[in-house]
Structure 1
């Protein structure tokens, strides 16, 4: 029987070689040792990985931005929400037969609803209820102008809508600024509409009291911006737009249905009138003679 001892093994094995010096580090990345917490970090690899991740994230963001909705095109191919247009009732200034469009006074009590205007706002609220506008809830977007906001509160109360669903609009729904016509009799506004029928870019004469002098095209920009916000902020909701005047609504509706903006007056809203927006209903009309006729001194034209 062969017996192997430790001594015999030690004599039979060759002497242990002298340990060779550790090789100099090279640029070749080493396989990471998951069991050794002191393993050096390959910073180049980490940086390349991070850049790749950031590039993919940036690409994802760019795709999201590219598919986001922007400024609404008029007339729109479709609308994502259901809209009702409401003109606030008669104001105190209207009852006196005076033009008042200066935004400085839009929150004053004098810009509020007259007694007749309050009744008109109640009728508008009841008409919206009969139309089922807010049966499944709705958002009410009034101008911050006193009479429009008062009308919105009446609409909310009659239709059982919480005040938290009233969203005041601070500039896009301001009454159209009529410049030098400010303070004149209401009948004088017919001169403005004569100019509108000639060109959508004619402005009323200016004035230095802070009242804007807005053309139809100016108002069109405002209401288009408003619709762009609503179409982006909501989806498949009902929105009730409450304007202090008629021009905001007629210009908006003309844009939505593709009507020549010079004919916006044909869509005039009476105080307290309610109208459902149907973009598929495009009125038939003839191009006005002003398409070829130029007025050199509006509104005084022969």
Structure 2
């Protein structure tokens, strides 16, 4: 009877009386087979059409016959289309805003002092009732607030009024932070008009810096953040309703300007009042036009005119 070969790696001893250092023999790894086996195992779990397939039930299905998940591509502004419905909400007035003070330092964003003021709570309840009137959560919805105290408080009020489970609140840790206004931190709210005057000149102009940890963000900086947020939402959800809750107006105005193709320098024209709710109408997205290079045809290559 043939002996069963030892598993790899195996140890070979050259002599029983004078043992030498053990020699290790390792069988070469067939990478292609390992990768094919791995792909065949995990691919079914990413398939929307064959969720019941698994490697135990169908061990001999070639990889080429297994379904492949569809990719949506990179998100761009303005988008070609949107996969979800979006409601944009600015949180109600904060305690700092009630005092007429600018506060955008992320260090204080979870502070109780950064929560909703008495007026802000009333504004947020009105916003929640407005969402209910608009049927925002009739077929369930996801609420994406900034982790900033006032925005998260607003999300909880919206969820309570609209009968949404708290597990559907997805706190966003950075993309929805209030726009950092640098050296304007602690100044009067009326000073924001000076920042908007700079925005009209160029979306790349930053507020003057400060050394207390408050970022000084340009419109272009915020545009990058909100584009990244939309990329996540459009990838994570499909045919869902998402309520975006921002602690300030600029996140929302820059986002809306990007979605409709408005010159970012003019974002302040779309300003949100505290507690304001806005449904984003997909019909406001400009019709996608192919670039000239995609329309160019050569009738008689290589002679083109």
The two structures have a TM-score, normalised by structure 2, of: 0.74
**Contact preservation (8 Å) 2:78, 2:285:** no
Match of 1:53 among 33, 41, 44: 33
Change (3 A) 1:270 1:209: same
Determine whether 1:215 maps to 2:218.
yes
Q: Which of residues 237, 242, 246 is equivalent to 1:243? A: 246
For 2:74 and 2:138, the matched residues in 1 are separated by: 29
In structure 2, what is the equivalent of residue 94 of structure 1? 97
Unaligned stretches of 5+ residues in structure 1: 1-35, 284-302
Q: Provide the rounded CA distance (Å) in 1 between the counterparts of 2:285 and 2:72.
A: 24
Count of residue pairs brought into register by the alignment: 244
CA displacement, residues 87-143 of structure 1 (integer Å, 9 cap, x when unaligned): 000001111111000000000011000110000000000000000000011000100
Gaps of 5+ in 2: 9-26, 44-63, 287-305
- 1:258 aligned to which of 261, 265, 268: 261
CA distance in 2, matches of 1:99, 1:76: 33
Secondary structure of the corresponding residue to residue 280 of structure 1: helix
Cα distance in 1 for residues equivalent to 2:176 and 2:187: 22
Give the equivalent residue in structure 2 for 1:286.
Answer: none
Q: 1:138 aligned to 2:118?
A: no
* 2:106 aligned residue: 103
Tell me if the contact between 2:95 and 2:117 (Cα under 8 Å) persists in the aligned partners: yes
* Residue 228 of structure 2: aligned partner: 225
8 Å Cα contact 1:90-1:116 kept in structure 2: yes
Is the Cα contact below 8 Å between 1:109 and 1:146 reproduced in 2? yes
Note closer, same or farther for the CA distance 1:103–1:49 as it changes in structure 2 (3 Å cut).
Answer: closer
Q: Does 1:147 align with 2:150?
A: yes
Note the alpha carbon deviations across 1:11-63, whole angstroms, 9 max, x for none: xxxxxxxxxxxxxxxxxxxxxxxxx876989x9xxx999555346468888x9
Larger Cα Rg: Structure 1 or Structure 2? 1
Q: Note if 1:275 corresponds to 2:278.
A: yes
CA distance in 2, matches of 1:139, 1:282: 22
User: 2: CA distance between counterparts of 1:168 and 1:49?
Assistant: 45
Deviation at 1:282, TM superposition (A): 4.9
Counterpart-to-counterpart distance in 2, 1:178 and 1:221: 16
Matches within 5 A, 1:1-302: 50-54=30-34, 56=36, 68-69=71-72, 71-282=74-285
**CA gap 1:98/1:40 in 2 versus in 1, 3 angstroms:** closer
Residue 207 of structure 1 aligns to a residue whose secondary structure is: coil
Contact 1:257 1:280 (8 Å CA) reproduced:
no
Query: Contact 2:79–2:285 at 8 Å: present in 1 too?
Result: no
Alpha-carbon spacing, 1:163–1:59, altered in 2? closer, same or farther (3 Å)? closer
